[in-house]
C-alpha cells in the first residue's frame, strides 16, 4: 500500500482533472473556474477546442497539448512541471478526462511519480443519458465506443449480450445506423434509449426498442449520441434434463412425489405442470 496523504494537504504535488461541458457552457462549475484561474498551465486534449472554451470563460492560460497520440511524452512534461511546483490541470474536449477520452495514462504516470490526482466534478454524457433513460440504473455497465471493426464489434456484443445490467454505449453520428443494426442483431429486441445532443438546445431522448430504432431515418440522427440498452432480462431456459435430475435428487432424499415436484418447480423457477409431466414420463416408474 502506498503512503497515505490527504489530497489537499501534505507536500506532494497534485494534478487536477477537470470535467468540462458536453454542450451547455453554463455547466462549468465555480470550482472548475477557480482551479483554472489558479493553474499555471492547462494541459488539454486539443489546444484549439480548450483555447476556445477558456477564452469564452475569460481566461488566457498557457496550454500543453496532451492527446491520444502523445500522452506518454506529454505526461513526462506535465510530471516535471508539477514536480517543479507549477499548478497544472488537465481537460479533454468534453466531459470527464479518461472516460472514452485521453487522461488515464497521464494519471498513471503522475501516480507513478508520487503526484496525487483530484477530479473536479462536472458533466458526463453517459450518466446524463442513464439518469434520464428510465431504464434500470441500479447496476449498469459502461462500454463506451464499440470497435469500428465489424468482427471485433460483434465479438464485444457477444460478450455484452448476457449482461443483466443496463448497458451504455457511446457512438458517433456517421456510424449510428450500422451500430443500431448490430445491436438489434446481437442483443435482440430490447428496450433502449438514444440520448442525443445532451444539454444542448436540440437535446432529445428517443425511447423505444432496438427493433423500432431500425426504422429511424438516419438523417434525423445528427449530433452526439449515447445509446442506453436494457440488460438481458430473459428467463434462463432450464433444460428438461436438469429438471429430471433435481426431481430424482429430491425423491432419493425420501421426499414424497408431490413435495419433490413442488420443491423442484420452486428451486428452478419452472412451471409445476411441466415438472409433473416430466415426473410422469421419467421418474414415476423408478419408484
Identity of the residue, 12 or 29, whose beta carbon is nearer to ligand SAM in the bound complex: 29
Identity of the residue, 226 or 265, whose beta carbon is nearer to ligand SAM in the bound complex: 226
Q: Using an 8 Å Cβ cutoff, are 183 and 157 in contact?
A: yes
Comparing every residue's Cβ against ligand SAM, the nearest one is 95
Residue 227 C-beta: closest distance to ligand SAM, Å: 8
Residue 76 C-beta: closest distance to ligand SAM, Å: 23
Residue 95 C-beta: closest distance to ligand SAM, Å: 2
Identity of the residue, 12 or 49, whose beta carbon is nearer to ligand SAM in the bound complex: 49
Which of 237, 259, 241 has the alpha carbon at shortest distance from 250? 259
Q: What strand order describes the sheet that includes 191-196? A: 140-145, 166-171, 225-229, 191-196, 204-209
**What spatial distance separates the first Cα and last Cα of the chain, rounded to whole Å?**
61
Which of 1, 31, 7 has the alpha carbon at shortest distance from 116? 7
Identity of the residue, 190 or 196, whose beta carbon is nearer to ligand SAM in the bound complex: 196
Q: Using an 8 Å Cβ cutoff, are 222 and 173 in contact?
A: yes
Residue 280, all three cell numbers: 410422469
Identity of the residue, 228 or 261, whose beta carbon is nearer to ligand SAM in the bound complex: 228
Q: Which residues bind ligand SAM (CB under 6 A)?
A: 22-23, 92, 94-96, 99-101, 124-126, 170-172, 195-200, 224-226
Residue 113 C-beta: closest distance to ligand SAM, Å: 24
Amino acid at each position: 500500500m502506498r503512503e497515505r496523504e490527504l489530497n489537499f494537504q501534505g507536500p506532494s504535488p497534485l494534478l487536477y482533472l477537470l470535467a468540462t461541458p458536453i454542450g451547455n457552457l453554463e455547466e462549468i462549475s465555480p470550482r472548475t473556474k477557480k482551479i483554472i484561474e489558479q493553474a499555471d498551465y492547462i494541459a488539454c486534449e486539443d489546444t484549439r477546442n480548450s483555447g476556445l472554451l477558456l477564452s469564452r470563460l475569460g481566461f488566457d492560460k498557457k496550454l500543453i497539448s496532451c492527446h491520444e497520440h502523445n500522452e506518454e511524452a506529454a505526461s513526462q512534461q506535465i510530471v516535471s512541471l508539477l514536480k517543479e511546483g507549477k499548478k497544472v490541470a488537465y481537460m479533454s474536449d468534453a466531459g470527464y478526462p479518461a472516460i472514452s477520452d485521453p487522461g488515464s495514462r497521464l494519471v498513471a504516470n503522475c501516480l507513478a511519480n508520487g503526484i496525487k490526482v483530484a477530479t473536479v466534478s462536472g458533466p458526463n454524457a453517459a450518466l446524463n443519458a442513464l439518469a434520464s433513460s428510465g431504464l434500470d440504473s441500479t447496476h449498469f455497465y459502461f462500454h463506451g465506443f464499440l470497435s469500428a471493426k465489424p468482427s471485433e464489434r460483434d465479438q464485444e456484443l457477444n460478450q455484452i449480450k448476457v449482461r443483466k445490467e443496463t448497458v451504455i454505449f457511446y457512438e458517433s453520428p456517421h456510424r449510428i445506423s450500422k451500430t443500431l443494426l448490430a445491436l438489434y442483431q446481437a442483443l435482440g429486441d430490447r428496450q433502449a434509449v438514444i440520448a442525443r445532443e445532451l444539454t444542448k438546445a436540440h437535446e432529445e431522448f428517443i425511447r423505444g426498442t432496438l427493433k423500432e430504432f431500425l426504422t429511424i431515418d438516419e438523417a434525423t440522427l445528427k449530433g452526439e449520441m449515447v445509446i442506453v440498452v436494457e440488460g438481458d432480462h430473459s428467463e434462463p431456459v432450464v433444460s428438461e434434463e436438469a429438471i429430471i435430475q433435481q426431481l430424482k435428487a429430491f425423491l432419493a432424499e425420501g421426499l414424497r412425489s408431490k413435495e419433490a415436484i413442488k420443491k423442484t418447480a420452486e428451486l428452478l423457477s419452472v412451471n409445476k405442470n411441466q415438472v409433473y409431466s416430466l415426473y410422469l414420463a421419467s421418474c414415476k416408474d423408478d419408484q
